[in-house]
Amino acid sequence: MSDRGDAPAILDSTITCPECGTQRLETMPTDACQFYYECTGCGALLRPKPGHCCVFCSYGTVPCPPVQASRRSCGSAPGECTGTEKTRPGSADPIDG
């Protein structure tokens, strides 16, 4: 009922796979956007729809925490909703496998 802006963000979002319809409750990271999500049902690699910053904004029941905090729809390009969406050093897949 409260309309205060300091309400804690909802961190649980149910992702629905557009390929097979599998739904799974996932906890969102608060410090970064999740750009990829692998469906637990069919293994499809989900990516955000055009204009969305993360898979939760596209396929989840709840938009990502940065979007909740800013109280706006997710219409920004990746990187504009948080400053930490870029791949962190050392976390990327090795290229010279």
Residues near Zn ion (CB under 5 A) are 17, 19-20, 22, 39, 41-42, 44
To Zn ion, the closest distance from the beta carbon of 44 in angstroms equals 5
Instruction: Decide whether 61 or 84 has the Cβ nearer to Zn ion.
Output: 61
Q: How far is CA 85 from CA 2, 4, 14, in A?
A: 30, 27, 21
| Contact (Cβ atoms closer than 8 angstroms) between residue 78 and residue 53 | yes
Return the number of the residue (32 or 46) whose C-beta is nearest Zn ion: 46
Please, what is the minimum distance in Å from the beta carbon of residue 1 to Zn ion? 36
Q: Which of 12, 19 has the CB closer to Zn ion?
A: 19
